[in-house]
Each structure stands twice: as structure tokens, then as C-alpha cells.
Amino acid sequence: MAAAQVRSKSKTIRGLSIPASGEGGTFVESAESCAVRWEGGRRALRYGSRRGSGSWRSGASGRRWVARDGSWAPGGGEAFPGTEWPEFDEEALEVWVRGVAEGLRGRSGTVGVAGTGLRAAAGFYRQSVRWIERDREVSDVRGGVRVSLFAGSAPLGPVTRRYADRTVDSLCRRIPAAAAAEDLAASLALWGEAPLCPGAAHAVVFAPGQCGALVHEIGHLFEADHARRASRPLAYGERAASGPITILDDPGSCAGRGAYAADDEGNLPAPVALLHAGIVVGILGDPGGGQGDPSGAEGHLRRGSWKDPAWPRLACTILQSGADSPADLLRHSEGGICVRSIRSANVEPASGVLTLLVEEAYGIEQGRPSRPCVPFAVVVAARELLSRIDGVGDDLCYDHGVGDCLKRDQAIPVTVGMPTVRVAGLKVVVL
């Protein structure tokens, strides 16, 4: 990840007006996105861009965010002077997608990307930002690519895999097309079995890679605007987990999609311990005196665009590895469920109740995944879930930014690192 650049303040940037220093800090953004789909042998592209600036204003009611000027257009985004603009390499990604299709051909009855067996969609984004405050100016460039692969069909719908990274090159080197094809084929081989309708309560093993929403949603309860509420499910200093569970947020630990060298108010990011050995030990982006005050933010103030105020946000949330072998966790969960992918999730900050919508899971027989499960949901309080974790694998894996987080109507890319996790006696609800 490139280091943030700090310069003296300037008055204008590419025609966008910058307020006088007495009015507070200003966030200036130039961003571009590209959406790609491959289906039926065709490639469809859609571009978009945005440019604009917003600033803090002080008044009798405190500080507030004012969007000053900007534009949205179908193209035309550009980097600010002195910054490197990442390239959209959709052609290299198409070669990778076709490699996955070729790897699947003949393995499990699927056909290539030009047919109906494999469909793919990808999204690129790149963003050049500056934070200007008094005599300080901080620049950062971000970017990333995310690709979703869909193979198979009814009765359970397609098997889905999502991959992300900062660039197409880094994604293709980390996940070779042959490896992605082999992973899809292994799931498709089980996908044709008679679906299993799970009962009310099971030992549930969450696999790393596509289940990061589990850790991310728990992490929301540590964000300062939630953790400082009068009614909060997790209080500083109390034990929230019975086992030695440790969770932290460290923006610099994984240079994937959405990684940044400085947050959206020019603060350099630092790791923040949230849960240590089961004890609540930290609050993320602590405003230290009221919502929107950036003091003590530790580099976790983020915004969806130049139009939006910054809030304490997760960046790369990590549940640290344990000492258990993933194979042992499966072997000790006979009759339970192995969750391979969570489609979406949310948490209610006041109660701490999590809702996880599971899109791919399998019954566990003879210590391995077997028949696929029909889609189901897990609805559980974060405190109860943490207390029921009785096994943490030694296979920590980062998803490199496959997810987007929506909070206060602002969507931002987020990363999760988690190992295999076993939760005892978890209730599931068949959809």
C-alpha cells in the first residue's frame, strides 16, 4: 500500500473550490468505477465517475458536514496531480474468467462462460482523495476489483464464489484460475445431492473466506457511535466471550480492495484491539466528545463519498487464529452444519442481535461436508454467539475486500480476516 502523502495546503484542485482555513477541514475526491458482466459469450461494460468536495463548518449547534460542489458523469474521472491512478484491466480479468470456465468444462457437467454453466460479474473502482486542514494536506489513492462467479442452478440456485484484491494482477496471482475452478467443482459435486433441511439447533462450523460477515457484524458493536450509546450490548471492560477470543481492526494488515494509507480526515490508521481474551478492551474511532469529532479516531473515520460526513467505520476486522485444526473441528461436529458462504448480514446496535443469511452450507457426516442444506438464517445475540464459540482454527484467512458495508446510507469496501470457527448449539431458521 502506498504511503499517504502530506503537503502544504492549496486553494483549488482541478476547479474545485477549497474553503478558507478557518472553516475547518475539507475532503476532496475524484473517483471512477467500472462494472463488467460476462454472460452468453458477451462482455458488457458500464462506467461512472464522481468528483467533488465537502467541508466541516462550525456553528452554534457544533460541527456539521457541508457538501460544497461536485459532479457525477458517465466517465471522465481522473487522479489528482502527483498521484498514481490504478488501471482497470478488464481484459486480463476476462482471460482469468475464461480460464475458470475451461477448468470447469467436463468436471461437473458445466460448460464454458460462453454457455450457461458459468456466469461472472466484476466491479472495479479507483479513488484519489485529499484531506486539507489548516497547513496540512494528506493525499491517498485507493482502488480494487471484485469478481463474482456463479455456477450451477436449481433447485438450490448457483454456487457462488466472490474474490477481491487491490488489482487484477494481484487477484490472479493469489487465486489462479485452475484453483478457482477446482473449488467450484468440489462444491458442484455436492450440490447435486438431495438437499438437507436442518433442524433447530446444531454445532455450526463457519469456514474462512466467504463467512467474514460473521466477524464484521460483531465488530459494528465496537464502533464509537454504537459503543457509546446508553443502551449497548457490549460494555467496556466486561467479559463478552467465554473462550480466549481476540478481535481487532487493523487497516494496514491486508492491502486488498478498499485498503487505505490515511482515513477520510487525514489520520494515519493504527490497529485497535476490540476484544482480548474474551474481554471488551477497545472502542473503534472513539469520537471523544460527541459524534463527528475526529479526535482520537485512530485512522478509522470513513465516508461513502465527498457528499457524506465521516463516521467511525471498520476497515479490516480480524478474529485471530486459535490452536485447533480445522479438520478436528469438523470431525467433532458430526451431525452439525458447515457454512461455506454467508450471503448478507446485519446487526441491530441497541440489542446486539445478528441476522446471518446463509447461501451455501452442508451437513457434516463422517467429519466432512456432505449433503447441501436449503438456505437458512441464523438469528442470535452477539453476546450469546461469542459465548458459544468453542473452537477456533489455526487457518486465518483474509477475504481481501469481497464485502461492502452499508451504514448510514454510506457504502464502503471492507475486509475481514478469520479462521475456521465452531459455534456450539446454534439455532437456525429455514427460509
Residue located via cell numbers 480492495: 257
* Residue positions counted in the chain: 431
Burial of 293: CB neighbours in 10 Å, binned 0-12, 13-18, 19+: middle
Determine the Cα angle at 149 with ends 124 and 84, to 5°: 20
Angle, helices 177-191 vs 90-104, to 10°: value is: 40
Bridge partner list, 357: 344, 377
Domain extents in the chain: 5-191, 201-430
- Average pLDDT per consecutive 10 residues, the chain (431 residues; last block may be shorter): 48 42 74 86 83 79 75 53 72 93 71 59 93 86 94 83 95 96 91 81 92 96 87 89 92 93 91 94 68 57 92 96 96 95 95 95 94 93 95 97 95 97 92 83
Residues 6 or more apart in contact with residue 81 via CB below 8 angstroms:
none
316-319/410-418 β-pairing? parallel
pLDDT at 351: 93
| Cell 489462479, residue located | 176
Q: Is 317 within 8 Å of 215 (Cβ atoms)?
A: yes
> If we measure between CA atoms, which residue out of 142, 184, 141 comes closest to residue 162?
184
Predicted pLDDT of residue 229:
81
DSSP 362-384: EEEETTEEEEEBPPEEEEEEHHH
pLDDT of residue 416: 97
Query: 5-191 adopts what CATH topology?
Result: PmbA/TldD fold (3.30.2290)
The DSSP symbol for 407 reads: E
- Among 108, 121, 95, 96, residue whose Cα is nearest residue 182: 108
Q: Which three cell numbers stand for residue 317?
A: 476486522
